[in-house]
Structures are given as C-alpha cells and as structure tokens.
Structure 1
Amino acid sequence: MSMSSRPVRQRRAGASGLACALFAVASTLVALALAVPTAAQTPPSAADPIPADDDVALTIQGRIVDESGRAIPYADVAPAGSPRSVRADADGRFRLAGLEAGVVTIIVSAHGYGAVEVEIEAGAEAPPLAITLALDPVALDAITVTGTMKAASVSASPVKVNVVPQSVLQRNATNNLVEAISYVNGLYQQVDCGVCYTNNLRINGMEGPYTAVLIDGMPIMSSLASVYGLNGINPALIQQVEIIKGPSSTLYGSEAMAGVINVITKDPRFTPRLALDASGTSDAEGNVDFAFSTEPGDVSGFISGNVAYNSRFVDDNGDGFTDFPLNRRGVVFAKMDWSPEGRRRTSLTTRYLHEDRFGGVEAWTAADRGSSNVYGESIRTNRLEVLGAYLPSWSADIRFEGSYAWHDQDSWYGDSSYDASQHIAFANALWGRMVGRQDLLIGATARYQTYDDNTPATVRADRRFIPGILAQNEVRLADGALTALGGLRADHHDKHGVIASPRIALKWDATGHTAIRLNAGTGFRVVNLFTEDHAALTGARDVVIASELAPERSWSVTLNLNRIVEFGPSPMMIDLDLFHTRFSNRIRPDYDVDPNLIVFDNLSGHAVSRGISLAFNQNVNFDRLLYSAGVTLQDVYLMDAEGAREEDFFAPRVRGVFSASYNMRSLPLTVDYTGSVTGPMRLPSYDEPFARPDRSPVYSVHNTQATWRLEDGAALYLSVKNLFNFTQPSPLIDPANPFGDAFDTAYVYGPMRGRHVMLGFRYGASR
C-alpha cells in the first residue's frame, strides 16, 4: 500500500464533538461561578471543628509543625492505603473526615520534610493532633498514588516512583510537558519529524507509545493525542508528575509496557486566588498562563487559561524550512471539588485545547494548505477532556472515576491529507481496604474508543469496547521489612479474547538506609500505525504493510537499589536500576530494504530493551545547594528468527542528565543549571547523493536560569536555553524538492533550535 499519493476518504466533521466540548466547558464554568461564596455563605476554615453525632462521619483534626513549632503549610495528609488525601491550610491545620471508628494510620508529608506515619484512634471525642515533621535534606519523600493506586510515601511504596514536583519543573522554565521532564534520568525526547516537530518520550529505550500517559490517574491520552497532545499540557497546571519506569499493566491497562507518566494537576482547594506566569523569548515566542480560584468551602475550584504563540520564521540551518514549528495554542482548564462538610469528595475537571501548528517554507500561506505548489505541514488540533471522581459518603473504601476525551486532527502534510478523530470513554470502580496485614484493591474498568481517519487503510471507523477487572494485594512481612505485592488484570478484546496481565513487586528494607525493589509484569498492545509512526504520513517514501499486523506482547523486569549515604546534615540519595524488556511480535519500520519505502511488519524473532541506570542527588545545607546527576546505558536491539542482531533506530546507547540549584542567602536569588549529554544512536540510511552518516555524534545541551524572588509570591526569571548553541545539521533529505521522491523528514537526532533567551514573570497571590 502506497501513501505517497493517497485517495482521500471523506470523514464526517466533528461538529458534534465540538458541541460537546463547548457544552462541557460551559457547564464547568457555570458550576465554578455558582461555587463562589457570598457574604452570607462564609466557608468554614480547615480548622473548624465538626460536631460529632450519629449522622456525621468521624473526623480527625490537627496541626502540622516543624521541630521548632512553626506551621508547615500545605502538607499532604492521607489515610494509608486509600486513594483519598487532604492538604493542610496555610497555618498547617487539616481536617480528615469520613473515617470509621477504630485505629487509623495516616501518612503526612511535605516537600523538604520526611514523611511520617501516625497511628491514631479515630473517635467522636478524639482531640486535635499535633504532628511534627523533621527536615529531610534529601527532600524526596512525597506522597504518591501512581505506584499502587493508593496513597503511600515514596520511600514506603513497593514500586519505585520518581516524583517531580512543580518546584523542580520551574527550574528550567518551559511551556510544554515533554521538555519539562525530558531531563529526568531514563527519559529521552525523540523528535519524529524535522518539519512539524512531533515528538514522544522514550522510557528506558522504549518509544513513547509503550508508555501510558495519565491525567490525574485517567488514561485519556490516546494514540492520536500523543502525536502532538503532550506539548499542549502546560507545566503551570501541574502539581507534580509521577513517573514509573517499568511494567504497570495490571493497574493502568495492558499497554503500559515501558511505564507510566501520571500528571497530577493542581488541587483547587489550595491554589492561589490569582496566578500569572508570562514569558517571552528572543525568538519572539510568547506564553501567558493565568488562573483564578474561588474561596475554599464546600465547593472550591479554579479556572485557568493558557495562550502560547510563535510567529517568527527561523531558518538558521539554511535548508529553507522552519527550524522549529510556528504555532498558536489556546487552552482553557477548569477544576472543581465538592466536599460537603468534609464527608465526601467529588471532583470535575475539564480541559479544552486548540492548536494551529505549521512547519515548512517561508513562502507558504494558508491559501497553500493542501496544494502541491508550496510545501507546508499544517496541523489543526481540537481536543476536549472531561474527568470526574466520586467518593461516596456511605463507604470510605469505594471510589468511582470516569473520563471522556475527544481529539480531532485536521492536517495536511504537503499535498497529503490526514483528517482523524478519536473518542475515548473510560470508567473505573475501585474498592480498597486494609484487612489485617493485607492491603486489598479490587476494581472493574470499561473503555470504549472509536477512531476514524481518511486514509485508505481505514475503510470504516474502528470501534473497540474493552472491559476489564483487576485485583491487587499488598502485604507487609518480617515486621515490615519486606513488602510483597501481587496483581492480576484481565481485559477482553473483541478480536483477541481475554488478555491477562500479571504483576509482582517486592520491596526489602535491608537496612534503615537501603531498600531493594523488584518489579515484573507483562504487556499487550494493539498498534494504530498511522497515529504512532509519523514517517507513515510525511516524506516521499511509500508505506508498505507486509502482512496483517499482530498485537505486540512483552514481559519486563526492573530491579532498583536505593541507598542513602550519610554526609553529616546533607545525606546523598543513590539509585541503581537494572531493566530488561523482551518483545514478541514487535512491529517495526524497515528503512533499509529500499530507500523509497518504509516496510512495516511483525518481527519474526524478538526485540530487547535492556540496560542499567545510576542516579544520585543531594541537598546541601537545607536547600542552599541542590544537585543531581544520572546516567543510563541501554542496549535496544532486534533479533530475527535466524539469530541476526540489529540495533534499533534512534535509541542512544548512553545518556546522562545533570542539574544544580543554588539559593543565595545574601540576595533573593536562585541560580539553576540543567543539562544533558547524549551518546551515539543509529540513524536511517540514504542513497547518494543524499547519503548521511548512519550514526549520530555525541552532543550536549545546557540551560541556565536565574530567578529573582520579589514580595507577595512574585518572581522574575531569566533563562538561556541551549547555552552553547549546539544544533544538528538540517534533518531534511532533499529539502529543495519537498514533493520529490527523495524527500524525507526523519533524520532527527539532536536539537534544531539554537541558543535563545527567555524572560518571564511569575506571580501567585496566596489565599
């Protein structure tokens, strides 16, 4: 099947989807407007007592302080083994309601302090608690929910979770999620097109489609959305990002082969009343984020907007094309929480995105869209997300969740049209309870998705209904030194029957400062070729599908050693990871069989991604100096049935990341430095006269930022991106003839955007 000159199948426009989008956004905005309390509706503070009677759930109240007795604001408080959590107010006071009488264990954590577990007696006459947290120089023991779907401190979780809080994201200011977390050890941003800049995140050498991207725990980032949608998630909305590097199919679906990236958005109960973040660059790129929140009460919420634009044509490499795409993006985000008397919690989140992206030659105008006269790639995206969660008052053990996502992409790659739409509806019902030493979790899921496009490969819309059940049990043995977790998920696919995804995890606290974790599991994935491999849509190579593609399967194992090394008051944390994933039925593009073709087929043998990763970080003198560094060595290869081994494309053998942050005491100034070093990787080959090296050189990218803190939560920041101005040569093959047979856009291994300066202002007025 050739895609160089495609007949276009008409697809019905997404008018109904747009109507749903506008209705959902309007509904949320109205709800938020009604949530603003009047003078006669003064909301109770977090510290107000709740009368205890037979009709009101039992409540724990208290205050969180440091060792000197000063309040710790906005600490997280959660019942152990529960998906629920609350956050203390600015004075450290909290109220945790809806508890059953008896002995309850709660986890309390705050950034910069060690998490503690407190065992208390919940009763009608329980006095207010005073909880003291000690400074933790390592400062990484936050609360996470991604590893087990239940609240747990990072150090106690049997599954290794990397937590990236917003304070870390702000050290290298950017307006998209991919760039923000690409400096996490083991993650690598791969750019798939040198014209439109579609990208994905590799985890431990495995490509982006093998990673489940969640928003507040909901799997709403579809294969179509991941092509450009990750760039539309703005870091200003994020409370923290939780990353699991390893198999997670039992909890998040069989496609979470490489791991999970869970984006936790801000809690409306604790966001500033007014927030603003505006920045501009020397390349005439601009970004503005703003947010407004209601007064806290039974109903709280916030509305946020983002406008990003880049309208300056830059062609420093002289190939006649944009070095990075021009775009206009607008995002509206609204989130609401309902917690009547603290006894239950319902949340509703809505996000709508519109983006108009262009890459191509300078002479292109909107009138040339779809023509063969002037080359341009024009992608117009509309996306709606709606998420909801409900914790019923009649049971503290049950949680209901649901989400809906609509994604519409109207695009032209030169004179080739790609018009696609995808709808995904997801529902989750979870029950969890501590029974003795057993921490049980049982759930049922249902996922319905539709996909349609105008390519000849999609004769009719693809519709899939995938119900599933899951069960997980976590138990502590050997007086708590050993934690064992086992889980099993079963999903039913229309074409493939019941797919089982088992998982095991073990954590052994060898000493007070040493923990060892083992995580193993399987994966299963149905590939949607044209949403996942951009080379099938752009360039002049014809696409050939050699046979009916079978689903990919995998099994994975990761081993983590975590060690805290004492250096007086400034201990160092060290992480050593080993990982190994083996694929069967791996679907791969073959660029070498013919320079004019991309041939897709299941691998007759197997594929392997394996390696070792080392990372360390240290907080010196209580936030005076923070630094971290990490390196990942990986071997990603394919082996056919005859035993012939072939290195995979675009998978660097070695990559290192590093960062340092210095807080001056004499001045309200913080200086940050972030960088990476990327080793050689295999690249596609081309015939003369367009031959290129088949391996990339070693290169490094460096960024620096200075932040001047002002009064009332305001700050000015100045960043220099790509400090030493490294860029690769033009990634385009035969750019002078973009409609010709040799034109290709896939030869991308390094940055295409040179040194540029960003100046920004950040403001967040507290409640």
Structure 2
Amino acid sequence: MKTILIGLMAFALAYPFNSSAQKLLGLVVEKDKQSKDQPLAGANVRWLGTSQGTTTRDNGVFLLDRVEGADRLVISFVGYISDTIKITDQTNIKVELKSEVQLQEIVVQGWKPSTYNNALSEMNLIEMNEKELFKAACCNLSESFETNPSVDVTFTDAITGTRQIQMLGLSGPNTMISLENMPGVRGLASSQGIQFIPGTWINSIQVTKGVGSVINGYESIAGQINVELKKLQESDKLFINGYVNSSARSELNLVHTAHASKKWATTFLLHSSIRPLEMDQNHDGFLDFPKGKQVNFINRWVYNSCNGWLGQVAFKYLTDNKQGGQLGYDPEQDKFSTNRYGFEINTNRYEVTGKIGYQFSGKPYKSFGLQLNALQHNHDSYFGFNVHNANEQSFYSNFIYQSIIGSTFHKFKTGLSFLYDNFTESLSSANTTFANRNFDRTEIVPGAFVEYSYDDTKKFSMIAGARVDQHNLFGTFFVPRLHLKYKPTETMVLRASAGRGIRVANIILENPGFLASARQMVLSNLQSNHAYGFRPDDAWNFGFNFLQEFTLDYRSGAFSVDYFFTDFKNQAVVDWDKNPQQINFFGLTGKSFSHSLQAQLDYQLIRRLDVRLAYRWVDVETDYLNGRLLRPLVPRDRAFINLAYKTKNNWMFDYTVQRIGSQRIPTTSSNPSEYQLKSYSDPYILMNAQVTKNFGARWSAYVGAENFTNFKLSNPIVSASQPFGPYFDTSMVWGPVFGRMWYVGFRYRVK
C-alpha cells in the first residue's frame, strides 16, 4: 500500500498544471488467480449524477477533478460489477472490481482498446496508451503511429531518413506537437524533431483532430499531438530496452526512478542509438539510411510541499549526427567536391523546462500554474554543395488560472503567455551556384487567453475559447475556437468543432527534400519583409464527429466517423510543379483547402483478439502557379486493418496491413525522357507484424518485421547516376525506399 500511495503522490506532481485543480487520486484493481492485486486499465470513473469522469491508465491509476456537491464516485468496467464509493475528505482511494459471472458461470471480461476515442472529452480526442506503443518497435515518435489510422508518417526524401507526419491530409507542421502540453516539436525541430523523442520514453499519446485548446497556443491547424513522457507513478524503478534491426541500427534505452525524500523524487531517461554500416537495398548507389548516432538524456525532478504547492523541473540534452549519400562517401576526402555526393546533418539541443502550481485548500475547482521552457537548438548541415545552418534560442512561459462562475456547471481558465524565438539561419552554396541568403529573425509574442466550459452533467457540454497575441513582426492575432458535445444516449456522442489556427512557416526545414536535390529556391509574391517574405499561414478548421459505443455478443466495440474541412486564408505555398529544377515558394493568391473523411471500427472479435478497421479519404487542393492541383505526394485514400491477439501464457501477436492509395507526383515533363516520372503513383500494400513474449513480470522479448511484402521504389532518386547534374532530385518519394526490415528487442523492468 505504501508503494501505491507514493505512486499516487507522484502522479499529481507530474501531471500537467494546466489542469491542476484539486484532484482525487485512485487505483482500480482486480484480483488474479493468486489473489494478488492487478491494475485494471481502461475502467470508467465518474461522479454520480454528472458527466465528469475519466478512465484509468495502464497501471490502473486515475486522477479526477473534484466536483462541488458530488460525493459519490462510480467505478465501472464492462464485464465487472460496478462500485459506488462515498467520498468525503480522502485524497486517494483504492477500489477493487469483481468480475461478473453470467450465462452459466461464463466469465465476461472487460475490454478497452489500446487506442480509443475518449467519449468524455468535448474534443475529438484519440488516446494511445503503452500497450498500443508496444505493438511495434516504436523506436521514436515518428514510428509510434504505425498502428494508428489517424496519422500518416512519410519520408521527405530518399536519402536522409527524415520523416514527417500528415494529419487530415496536411503536412506535419500544421499539427501542433507538444510535450506534456508544452512546446515540443516546432521551430528548427520541425524537420527532425519527431525522431528526437524515443518511443520507450512515451507513456501515452493524445491525438486531437481539428483545432485544439487556446490554452496551448495559436499554432494548431490540423490538430494537436500531445506526448506524455514516463511519469514517476507510471515508471518502473528500472526499465531497460534494447533493439537491433537488419539495417544495423541498434539502440539502448533506460528509465530509472528514485525517491530522494518524502517531498522530492527524480526520473532519469537515457537513449543512445547508432547505425554504423552502409546499406543499399535498391541498388541505386545511395545509402537507404544515413549512418549516424544519437544520445538523448532527460533528468526530471518533482516536488510536493504537501500544503498545495507542486513543482517540477527537467533538464534535457540531445546530440544527433547523420552522414549519408553515395556508397563510400568520406567527408574528409569528398566534402564539397564532385568525387561522391554526400551530406551531414548535425544537431545539438539543450533545454530546461519547469512547472509550478498551487491548489487552493477547500476549493477543488480553483488553482493556478506556471509553465516555463528555455532552449538552445543548433542545426548544421550540408547536402552536396548546398549548405544550411541555423540556430534557435527560445523562451516560453504560460500562466494559467482556473475557477468557476457560480457553480461547477460553469468553469473558466484564463492566463497570459509569452514566446520569444530568435533564429539565425543561412542557405548558401559551397561552389557559389547561388548567392548566400540569410533569414534571421526575432519573434516576440505576448498573449492572453480565456476559455469557458459548460457541462450540464447529462447530455450537453461545450468549450469556447479565444486568445489574442501581439506579434512584433505580424501584428495582432485573434484566435477563437469552439468545441461542442452532445450525448443523445449513454453510448452515442456527437461532436462539432470550429476554430482558427495561425503559424509562421519555417519553409526550408519544413521542406528539406529540396536541399538534397539540384532544385533552386525561388521566392515570389512576397507579402512582408520578415520570415522569408511571407505572412503567417492562417486557416479555419471545421469538424464533426460521430461516436457509437456498442456491445455485441457480450463484447464491447466502438464505431466512429469524422469529417474535417480546413480552409487556408493565407499560406506560404510550396510549388514543386512550376519547374522541376526549382522549388517555388509564394504567397497564396487563390484557394487552398483540405477535406478529410474517416470511419473506424474497434471490436474484440473473440476473446483476446482485438480488431481495428479504418478507411480514410482526403481531398487536398491548392491554387498553384500552374493552376489548381491536388497536393502532391498525399494519398487520396488509405485502408487499414490491425489485429492484436494475446494468449493465456503471455504471447502477443500484432499484425497491421495498409493499402495506400494513389498519389499525385509533381510534374517532370520538361526533363529528358530518362528523368521523367509518371503523373500518379500506383496504390500499394504495406504489412507489419510483431510477436512478443512476456517471461514473468520482468522480462519480455519481441521480434518483428516492417514492410513484410518487401515493396520498395525501384528508382526513388531522379538522376541518381548524375548527382551533380541539373536533374538530380531525391524528393519525389511516394513509398518505401528500403525493403523488408527485421528487428529484435527486449524489455526488462523492475517495479
């Protein structure tokens, strides 16, 4: 019990302070055959007579806002007997649920998918827990969505291994990626950043489709991905993960948690990876992946004064080095020469984050918190003769106060934010093909926000928010957002959302593929004297979601449909079609929009066999310099199947198959015939599979394969034999550049 209480205390310390009202902490368990407590993940917890509730995490822990006037807590789970607990002044509780016995002693066990649409949220929120992440190797955040149909991950080019997400058919920077509700992947990290978050550090991922909360800033357009790292209560005392794959990539991850005193505790997170060997599976003379190494470290300290004050500080360090290009490339002999084509990308990042909050005694609805973040990001790179160097110094603060208006039916959050970004950036040519260009800028953005929420505790709830930010370069930003939820029945949810998003595009790092090519950068229809000459991207997003939970043959399931429309009022458009020897950036003069429609079904087909089916269709169009065209290299549709089966003796089998639809390829019609590509790609199939075996409570091992069908592009690089010629282009990638990849790994933990 002492361990449980320590874990519960740590949960409160590590929880994001933008929702840090006075909480009730709890643990929901069931008894196993040896009468030992086992955590019950996915149990529903809510205040009786209200719609205020939550679900338990993988370790059975929940954290729930207290509701004024509510003193009875209902804990339920499909296949278990519900329990109602009287709550007085407790700060933490432990609840044991017992299995129901029905149909002549057949035990109906509860079920919750490892990825699910959170019916309690006003927003269209997809929750991914640790079980979902363990379905694949998940070496970093970019590989954490292989079993999720809502997020696509694509390669930006054929040689650097850089990945970028797509949501609602829009490229990654249109989606805000935060770390524990603080700035995560933005600025100079927008290119490589999703590869800098190790998968084994991640406790859960929340994917919000459509505009997010105004509390987190003005940059979310297509959605928000919030990554929760291992918390003290989620972390084992020691966790070690090792991994190696058939492309000679190996890595080691370590998480260690210790309690320094009754008030202080700390977590160490360490990641190291290396890929030392050259590999060319498609025989084009270029490495499929760059050689490289990475070291990543976080040390987090949390503090609880036991009188209302909570605090947290974390120190982070990253170094990442990549080298690739043609086989045999040696920088000491070949750099900035025509002997062999090569590139290097070197990143160093230093970061400090802090949170402090206070909970008012006797007023569970009232609290305030302050979030702080400071970082230095250094990025140095070259691609052949193209040299791109950039540095960023950033500071962020966000003060949040929350309380009620009259009663807990009406709540509000308000606060002030401040963002400082200083960029020094240059693009030059080592052989003076083009003149040096500098894109230095300093952004200073103070802001204020307010968010009102209403919940009648039965059927209807809403969140309405707005923020005003004063940008020193681009003037005033006004960003309103609205989320509505209606529950016609206990198992049906209807949601609607609308809102605005604004972001300053970092056009070079967001489109790194052109650097590894002969394309020359052209800027036209300039709109300002700042930030590459363009005003910020400005878009409105509208969305609708239908969610129906059901029980069929005594097993639970969920079916959802959502539609989103994104309409850009301004955009720094990247045009790959005007001239295949150029990349044209211009200020939007016409229309640019995205339609996205997705249907998804989750169901436990038979006991311990989970099935996820999904289909998505997108229509993304922009008025380019040659007229309105489909956005290139975006699949028109995607079909998805994921099967997960677990045996009684702890074998786990996971299988994912996807059909990726046709994609428009930028025109190369003016190239010589041998360097021309077809206008559209062919649909193709991708299969991934993994087998995991748990050996008791501490050890587990897994083996898997990515791209099981061994599908790969036969000629992913245009003019690969002439890398210093005018037609060389590595950016026309619409599928895998490498074939089947095997991997093995292990996990070891001490609780």
TM-score, structure 1 length as denominator? Answer: 0.84
Q: For structure 1, which segment, 265-274 or 237-246, has the greater mean C-alpha deviation from structure 2 after superposition?
A: 265-274
Matched, 1:685 2:667: yes
Check 1:141–1:730 CA distance in 2 against 1; reply closer, same or farther (3 A cut). Answer: closer
State the distance in 2 between where 1:109 and 1:210 align: 38
Check 1:316–1:391 CA distance in 2 against 1; reply closer, same or farther (3 A cut). Answer: same
Check 1:619–1:592 CA distance in 2 against 1; reply closer, same or farther (3 A cut). Answer: same
Q: For structure 1, which segment, 275-284 or 204-213, has the greater mean C-alpha deviation from structure 2 after superposition?
A: 275-284
- Residue 392 (structure 1) shift: 2.3
**AA partner of residue 555 (structure 1):** W
Q: Deviations over 1:199-223 (max 9, x none)?
A: 2101010111111110111113223
Check 1:112–1:356 CA distance in 2 against 1; reply closer, same or farther (3 A cut). Answer: farther
1:467 to 425, 437, 446: 446
State the distance in 1 between where 2:677 and 2:602 align: 39
- Residue equivalent to 2:387: 417
**AA partner of residue 503 (structure 1):** R
State the distance in 1 between where 2:228 and 2:182 align: 10
Q: Is the 8 A contact 1:268 1:336 kept in 2?
A: no
- Residue equivalent to 1:303: 268
2:403 to 409, 433, 439: 433
2:455 to 476, 482, 506: 476
Q: Is the 8 A contact 2:169 2:618 kept in 1?
A: yes
- Residue 87 (structure 1) shift: 8.9
Check 1:107–1:354 CA distance in 2 against 1; reply closer, same or farther (3 A cut). Answer: farther
2:655 to 652, 673, 676: 673
Instruction: Give matches, 1:183-198, under 5 Å.
Output: 183-198=147-162
Instruction: Give matches, 1:330-409, under 5 Å.
Output: 330-341=295-306, 343-367=308-332, 368-392=334-358, 397-409=367-379
State the distance in 1 between where 2:193 and 2:448 align: 29
Check 1:685–1:483 CA distance in 2 against 1; reply closer, same or farther (3 A cut). Answer: same
**AA partner of residue 267 (structure 2):** F
Matched, 1:529 2:507: yes
Q: Is the 8 A contact 1:227 1:531 kept in 2?
A: yes
State the distance in 1 between where 2:743 and 2:128 align: 22
State the distance in 2 between where 1:596 and 1:526 align: 26
**AA partner of residue 692 (structure 1):** L
**AA partner of residue 585 (structure 1):** N
2:639 to 651, 656, 663: 656
1:73 to 10, 17, 39: 39
Instruction: Give matches, 1:51-200, under 5 Å.
Output: 64-66=28-30, 71-73=37-39, 103=69, 122-123=88-89, 129=93, 131=95, 137-140=110-113, 154-200=118-164
- Residue equivalent to 2:174: 210
Q: Is the 8 A contact 1:561 1:576 kept in 2?
A: yes
State the distance in 1 between where 2:619 and 2:131 align: 33
State the distance in 1 between where 2:452 and 2:522 align: 46
Q: Structure 2: where are the runs of 5+ without partners?
A: 10-20, 100-108, 429-435, 527-533
Check 1:42–1:590 CA distance in 2 against 1; reply closer, same or farther (3 A cut). Answer: closer
- Residue equivalent to 1:445: 417
Check 1:261–1:370 CA distance in 2 against 1; reply closer, same or farther (3 A cut). Answer: farther
Q: Deviations over 1:597-645 (max 9, x none)?
A: 22211221111100210011113456x1112121110101124799x53
Check 1:268–1:220 CA distance in 2 against 1; reply closer, same or farther (3 A cut). Answer: same
Instruction: Give matches, 1:542-557, under 5 Å.
Output: 542-548=520-526, 549-557=534-542
State the distance in 2 between where 1:515 and 1:94 align: 22
Q: Structure 1: where are the runs of 5+ without partners?
A: 1-40, 49-56, 144-152
Q: Which has the higher strand share?
A: 2
**Matched residue of 2:516: which SS?**
coil
Q: Is the 8 A contact 1:137 1:621 kept in 2?
A: no
Instruction: Give matches, 1:179-328, under 5 Å.
Output: 179-248=143-212, 250-295=214-259, 297-328=262-293
**Matched residue of 1:167: which SS?**
helix
State the distance in 1 between where 2:78 and 2:732 align: 43
**Matched residue of 2:195: which SS?**
helix
C-alpha RMSD of matched pairs (Å): 3.5
Check 1:345–1:231 CA distance in 2 against 1; reply closer, same or farther (3 A cut). Answer: same
- Residue 528 (structure 1) shift: 2.1
**AA partner of residue 378 (structure 1):** E
Q: Deviations over 1:567-605 (max 9, x none)?
A: 132122011011111112222222232232222112211
- Residue equivalent to 1:749: 734
Q: Is the 8 A contact 1:657 1:677 kept in 2?
A: yes
Check 1:282–1:107 CA distance in 2 against 1; reply closer, same or farther (3 A cut). Answer: farther
- Residue 120 (structure 1) shift: 5.8
Number of residue pairs aligned between Structure 1 and Structure 2: 700
Check 1:274–1:171 CA distance in 2 against 1; reply closer, same or farther (3 A cut). Answer: same
- Residue equivalent to 1:634: 618
1:580 to 565, 568, 575: 565
**AA partner of residue 276 (structure 1):** I
- Residue 290 (structure 1) shift: 1.4
- Residue 719 (structure 1) shift: 0.7
**Matched residue of 1:271: which SS?**
coil
- Residue 161 (structure 1) shift: 0.6
Q: Is the 8 A contact 1:79 1:105 kept in 2?
A: no
Q: Is the 8 A contact 2:336 2:385 kept in 1?
A: yes
- Residue 716 (structure 1) shift: 1.1
Q: For structure 1, which segment, 525-534 or 747-756, has the greater mean C-alpha deviation from structure 2 after superposition?
A: 525-534
- Residue 496 (structure 1) shift: 2.2
Check 1:137–1:656 CA distance in 2 against 1; reply closer, same or farther (3 A cut). Answer: farther
- Residue equivalent to 1:17: none
State the distance in 2 between where 1:114 and 1:468 align: 48
- Residue equivalent to 1:567: 552
- Residue equivalent to 2:482: 504
Q: Deviations over 1:523-578 (max 9, x none)?
A: 22222222212144231111110132232211111100001122132122011011
Matched, 1:724 2:709: yes
Q: Is the 8 A contact 1:166 1:235 kept in 2?
A: no
State the distance in 1 between where 2:517 and 2:91 align: 69
State the distance in 2 between where 1:552 and 1:202 align: 17
- Residue 106 (structure 1) shift: 9.2
Q: For structure 1, which segment, 422-431 or 131-140, has the greater mean C-alpha deviation from structure 2 after superposition?
A: 131-140
Q: Deviations over 1:157-192 (max 9, x none)?
A: 110111111111111113121122144223111211
Check 1:173–1:59 CA distance in 2 against 1; reply closer, same or farther (3 A cut). Answer: closer
- Residue equivalent to 2:691: 706
State the distance in 2 between where 1:737 and 1:228 align: 27
**AA partner of residue 596 (structure 2):** G
State the distance in 2 between where 1:354 and 1:429 align: 31
**Matched residue of 2:233: which SS?**
coil
Q: Deviations over 1:431-458 (max 9, x none)?
A: 1123411021112111111111222675
**Matched residue of 2:688: which SS?**
strand
**AA partner of residue 629 (structure 1):** L
Q: Deviations over 1:690-727 (max 9, x none)?
A: 01112111111111111111023211111122111111
Matched, 1:602 2:584: no
Q: Is the 8 A contact 1:216 1:265 kept in 2?
A: yes
Check 1:657–1:137 CA distance in 2 against 1; reply closer, same or farther (3 A cut). Answer: farther
- Residue equivalent to 2:17: none
